[in-house]
Structure 1
Amino acid sequence: MRIDVHAHYWTDDYLDLLVNLGRTDTDAQRGQGAGGGAELDARLQLMDRAGVDMQILSAAPLLPHFAERDKAVSTARFVNDQYAAVVAAHPDRFRAFAALPMPHVEESIAEMGRALDELGMVGVVLNTTILDRVLVEPEFAPIFAELDRRGAVLYLHPAGNSVCTPLIADHQQTWMVGAPVEDTISVVQLITNGIPTRYPNLKIINSHLGGALPMLLQRLDNQYGWAAPETPELPSITARRMWYDTVGHGHVPALRAAIDSLGADRLLLGTDFPYEAGDIFVRAIDFINDPSIDPAAAKLILDGNAQALLGIDSGSVATP
């Protein structure tokens, strides 16, 4: 089954709610084709054209992360209920990752339970930072512990915060450069803090081929002993305990580097819809079948890995 694990969905109602609660970064998500109604119909037609059976929807990076507890909790429930509704209306085409009211840990664990147990979500989504705080802070450990207890999937997406540096933010590089740098920093923090080894039942999906990780693995192996001696094992081993989506904007050399460095069994189809739409959306799938990619590896990435990881039964899904 062909499953796209990196696909955004935002209704105007949700974006308006965020604005009413003080967010000022929703303009880029409006009118892009990621909403309901006619936009949803057009999305389904594009999925059919590209041969995508199913998308796993997520609200990242516009997640309900608010310092105010009440704002975070009510907004998380709102967006998760919206996602449950669209999945219920199209059960053969969509599943969803649950949003959590971070940084409020107790409330996030409660909403995780509701979303996974009652709403049928296939995992949880977090940004790579929570209000500019890193995920590996000790305060957030109960989130990892609960996900591990459940054997759940955690999908990570950049927050779009330019890695908190004006060197990126002030030079129009927040998404062109900043996003994959966010991915890189996050995944290396997970590795050096031993998150995949401490929580072996937790299944982590990182975005955008892991950022620069495929190019850095040997460097990490060479330098972690003195730079991050608390790292519990070779970084290249820990890296292969996680998964990575294939959002690489059709750049085949980047995909080959990820296959060679991380393994084809660790890569999952991702498109970044709606930011890769139309012909570019089709390319996001087709580039995996480039002649320079081993056909067996391409088959795993396109049609095997995500279904196995997410435990989705293909018998209930109609083929486009």
Structure 2
Amino acid sequence: MRIDVHAHYWTDDYLDLLVELGKTDTDTQRGMGAGGGAELDARLRLMDRAGVDMQVLSTAPQNPYGPDREKAVAAARFVNDQYAGVVAAHPDRFLAFASVPMPHIPESIAEMGRALDDLGMVGVAMNTTVLDRALVDPEFAPIFAELDRRGTVLYLHPAGNSACSPLIRDYHLTWMAGAPIEDTISVMQLITAGFPLRYPNIKIINSHLGGALPMLLQRADNQYMWEAPQTPEAPSVQARRMWYDTVGHGHLPALQAAIDSFGADRLLLGTDFPYENDKVFVRAIDYISDPGIAPADSQAILEGNAERIFGRIPAPSGTA
């Protein structure tokens, strides 16, 4: 079964709640195919065309984060209930990652429990930063402790904050370069803080092939002992304790670098729908089967690895 772990879904009603939380970029997210109704029907047709059996829906980077506790909780509950409805209507096509109202810790833990226990979600989605703060900030430790206790999946996606750098933001590079830089920084922070060892039961999925990490692993191994000597294990070893989606915009050298760096068993199919749509969406799946990729690696990435993460999922109706 082909399971797309990097697929966005949000409606205008949900985006309106984010505006109340202070989000200023929701206009660009409207009408692009991420919603319900006719947009959902078109998504299903495209999934069929590309041979994608299921998607795991997530709100990231449009997560319900904000300083107003009540509004953040209301937005998280709204979208989790909305996701549960989509999954209930199409149980053979969709799963969902829960959204949590960060940075409000007790409320996020409570909503995590409701979404996982009552709504049947398969993990939690978070941004690589919380209101411009690193996930390894000690204040967020209770979130990771609860994720670890539950042994659940944590899907991480860039926040779109240009890595808090005007050198990115002011030069129109927020998504072209900034997003994979956010991925890279986040993964390296997790590694230098030893999170894959400290929280071994969390199945962490990083976006976009881990950003630049495949090109930096040997550099990190060579330099961490003098720059981050508290790192408990070599970066290349810890990197292979996590997972990475295959969103690489069809760039075969990037996919091959990730396979060589992490191992094909650490890669999961991702499309970045609806940002990758139509022919680009199809290419996001097809490039994994390029003749330059070993067939066994392609098979593992497309079919086998997700089952190790989420457990065995019944095949969609009408399939063998």
The question of a shared fold, defined as TM-score above 0.5 by the shorter chain, is answered with yes
**Residue identity opposite 2:296 in structure 1:** A
Q: Per-residue deviation at 1:78?
A: 0.5
Q: Per-residue deviation at 1:316?
A: 5.6
Q: Per-residue deviation at 1:53?
A: 0.1
Change (3 A) 1:116 1:67: same
SS at match of 1:314: coil
Q: Supply the distance in 1 between the matched residues of 2:71 and 2:112 (Cα, whole angstroms).
A: 17
Q: Supply the distance in 2 between the matched residues of 1:36 and 1:91 (Cα, whole angstroms).
A: 15
Q: Per-residue deviation at 1:252?
A: 0.3
CA contact (8 A) 1:53 1:317 kept: no
Q: Supply the distance in 2 between the matched residues of 1:306 and 1:317 (Cα, whole angstroms).
A: 19
SS at match of 2:205: strand
2:215 maps to 215
Q: Per-residue deviation at 1:318?
A: 4.6
Q: Per-residue deviation at 1:170?
A: 0.6
1:148 maps to 148
2:40 maps to 40
**Residue identity opposite 2:14 in structure 1:** Y
Q: Supply the distance in 2 between the matched residues of 1:312 and 1:63 (Cα, whole angstroms).
A: 28
Q: Supply the distance in 1 between the matched residues of 2:318 and 2:293 (Cα, whole angstroms).
A: 28
2:299 maps to 299
Question: What's the CA shift string for 1:166-215, capped at 9, x where partnerless?
Answer: 10101110000000000000000000000010011110000000000000
Q: Supply the distance in 2 between the matched residues of 1:305 and 1:27 (Cα, whole angstroms).
A: 35
Q: Supply the distance in 1 between the matched residues of 2:110 and 2:317 (Cα, whole angstroms).
A: 30
**Residue identity opposite 2:294 in structure 1:** D
User: Aligned residue pairs: how many?
Assistant: 320
CA contact (8 A) 1:53 1:319 kept: no
Q: Supply the distance in 2 between the matched residues of 1:291 and 1:245 (Cα, whole angstroms).
A: 20
**Residue identity opposite 2:44 in structure 1:** L
Gap runs ≥5 in structure 1: none
1:178 maps to 178
Change (3 A) 1:40 1:24: same
1:2 aligns with 2:5: no
Map 1:1-320 → 2, pairs under 5 A: 1-315=1-315, 318-319=318-319
Q: Per-residue deviation at 1:22?
A: 2.9
**Residue identity opposite 2:68 in structure 1:** E
CA contact (8 A) 1:196 1:241 kept: yes
**Residue identity opposite 1:159 in structure 2:** A
SS at match of 2:5: strand
RMSD between aligned residues: 1.1
CA contact (8 A) 1:153 1:203 kept: yes
CA contact (8 A) 2:21 2:65 kept: no
Gap runs ≥5 in structure 2: none
SS at match of 2:57: strand
Query: Normalising by structure 2, what TM-score?
Result: 0.98
Change (3 A) 1:135 1:202: same
Q: Per-residue deviation at 1:68?
A: 1.4
Change (3 A) 1:123 1:51: same
Q: Supply the distance in 2 between the matched residues of 1:171 and 1:284 (Cα, whole angstroms).
A: 27
Q: Supply the distance in 1 between the matched residues of 2:316 and 2:258 (Cα, whole angstroms).
A: 32
Q: Supply the distance in 2 between the matched residues of 1:234 and 1:211 (Cα, whole angstroms).
A: 19
Query: Normalising by structure 1, what TM-score?
Result: 0.98
CA contact (8 A) 2:73 2:101 kept: yes
Q: Supply the distance in 1 between the matched residues of 2:211 and 2:52 (Cα, whole angstroms).
A: 24
Q: Supply the distance in 2 between the matched residues of 1:2 and 1:68 (Cα, whole angstroms).
A: 39
Q: Supply the distance in 1 between the matched residues of 2:135 and 2:30 (Cα, whole angstroms).
A: 28
Q: Supply the distance in 1 between the matched residues of 2:69 and 2:27 (Cα, whole angstroms).
A: 24
Q: Supply the distance in 2 between the matched residues of 1:247 and 1:22 (Cα, whole angstroms).
A: 29
Q: Supply the distance in 2 between the matched residues of 1:319 and 1:209 (Cα, whole angstroms).
A: 30
Question: What's the CA shift string for 1:43-77, capped at 9, x where partnerless?
Answer: 00000000000000000101001111111111100
**Residue identity opposite 1:197 in structure 2:** L
Q: Per-residue deviation at 1:228?
A: 0.3
Q: Per-residue deviation at 1:20?
A: 3.3
Question: What's the CA shift string for 1:114-133, capped at 9, x where partnerless?
Answer: 00000000000000000000
Q: Supply the distance in 2 between the matched residues of 1:25 and 1:134 (Cα, whole angstroms).
A: 21
Q: Supply the distance in 2 between the matched residues of 1:317 and 1:300 (Cα, whole angstroms).
A: 22
Identity %: 76
Q: Supply the distance in 2 between the matched residues of 1:20 and 1:104 (Cα, whole angstroms).
A: 17
SS at match of 1:56: strand
